Amino acid sequence: MRIFKNEEKLSPEYVPPRLPHRERELSLLETFFSSHITGQPAVSVRALIVGAVGTGKTALSKLFGSRLEKANSAIRYVHVNCKIHATLSSILKKAVEAVGAPIPVRGLSSEELGGRLMSLLDRKKMLLVIGLDEFDGFLHSDPQGIYTLLRLGEERSGETRISVIAITRNVEILEDMDESLRGMFQAGVIYLEEYSYRQLADIVEFRCSEAFYPGVMTEEAKGLVVDMASERGDARYAVELLWRGGKYAENEGAPRVTPEHIRKAAASIYPSVRREVLTYISRHEKLLLLAAARLLLSSERSRISSSELYQAYRVTCEELGSAPKAYTRFWEHMQRLEDLGLIRIKIESGGSRGRRSFVTLPGIPASIMVREISALLEASERE
Ligand SMILES: Nc1ncnc2c1ncn2[C@@H]1O[C@H](COP(=O)(O)OP(=O)(O)OP(=O)(O)O)[C@@H](O)[C@H]1O
Ligand SMILES: [Mg+2]
């Protein structure tokens, strides 16, 4: 029985040709980059895409990048994951390669790379747009490098040739920046809200039509995917459930994907409380989880803000004799815990205070979390 028409279309690298319910954000990007598209002398653009996990940040930036390249053949879009390329020189290296460096760039300093990049762009009359995904990584490890990158070419006469789209899950990132950096990004912020139930239903429909033979994914199975994903507003979870559900059906030789295949898929993505996950997270991730669980327990609230959690984490660190990490590092730990399914970070509008991020513990009683983590921390103390 054939299940997948094109399995590739559910792979993490694949970027769909359109993004339902992100049309407004795409046209906002077009507005920001209008000078690039019309081929007027370009102004340097700094955009910042912010949104929770699976809201389509990476897909939006990549799709926009490819549309830019189509609209104007002088534009190159290069997408860099700053978790992997966290320093200016490795980002510049990627950029120089994307523009087509004629000579090897190994062993050059970042000044040399910057100069090389600018003269390449000048010579080829090209405009470069760099998507800096997981921008937190860069902000944390090379804050000075960001300035250098943004200012590249600014001191030079002639056209600006480099623009940036920074991408992050951290809604409070502007507050983590110093004033001049904030000033550069402030006017170009795009918030991606979590997808609603209806929106995810459309997304699931579209992704199924690309990946599966007609009728293979039952309506019941689709509905379950939408139910599960809408609890998180997370399209990545939906896509992953579709793919894994399809694989279960394929392996069983089933003619269709049923809700049971989706339930199996869900169980394999986030198996219920995993002690072993708790054992391999780092000490500071444990301290953070412990602080979250304690605060949720004592406050009797369903969620706490990430700034409250940071304070609680500092107290917990002090109590257990560890030096607390800086806020950006703390935020990286939060994202890892979220990726492991141990916490949920939700972005909510906090009225006059703007958007804030809140932390919840999905499906694990805080009391059990406190007990488990405390035991693990004590055990590591004894070692
Ligand atoms: N509007 C949409 N239509 C179709 N597919 C979408 C849409 N939004 C997101 N997706 C798909 O959902 C998955 C997750 O999207 P993406 O990787 O862009 O999320 P993200 O916001 O970058 O998440 P993270 O913070 O984890 O990096 C991808 O497979 C993407 O193609
Ligand atoms: Mg992403």
Ligand 2 centroid from CA 40, angstroms: 31
Question: Measured from the CB, is residue 239 less than 6 Å from ligand 1?
Answer: yes
Question: Measured from the CB, is residue 58 less than 6 Å from ligand 1?
Answer: yes
Question: Measured from the CB, is residue 204 less than 6 Å from ligand 1?
Answer: no
- Say which CATH class 275-382 falls into: mainly alpha
pTM, 2 dp: 0.84
The amino acid present at 118, given as its one-letter code, is M
The pLDDT, as a whole number, for residue 352 is 64
Q: Where are the domains of the chain?
A: 23-192, 196-269, 275-382
The pLDDT, as a whole number, for residue 271 is 53
Ligand 1 centroid from CA 129, angstroms: 20
Does the domain at residues 23-192 carry the CATH identifier 3.40.50.300?
Answer: yes
Closest protein CA for atom 1 of ligand 1: 19
Closest protein CA for atom 23 of ligand 1: 54
Q: Quick one: which ligand is closest to 49's CA?
A: 1
The pLDDT, as a whole number, for residue 350 is 63
The pLDDT, as a whole number, for residue 275 is 66
Reported as a single tens digit per residue, the pLDDT across 176-228 is: 888 989 999 999 999 999 999 999 999 999 999 999 999 999 999 999 999 88
Does the domain at residues 196-269 carry the CATH identifier 1.10.8.60?
Answer: yes
Q: Quick one: which ligand is closest to 238's CA?
A: 1
The pLDDT, as a whole number, for residue 355 is 83
The pLDDT, as a whole number, for residue 346 is 85
| CA pair distance 246, 261, nearest whole angstrom | 7
The mean predicted confidence, pLDDT, of the chain is 90
Question: Measured from the CB, is residue 114 less than 6 Å from ligand 1?
Answer: no
What number does the ligand 1 atom closest to the CA of 134 have?
A: 27
Which parts of the chain register pLDDT below 70?
1, 102-105, 153-158, 270-275, 350-353, 363
The pLDDT, as a whole number, for residue 103 is 63
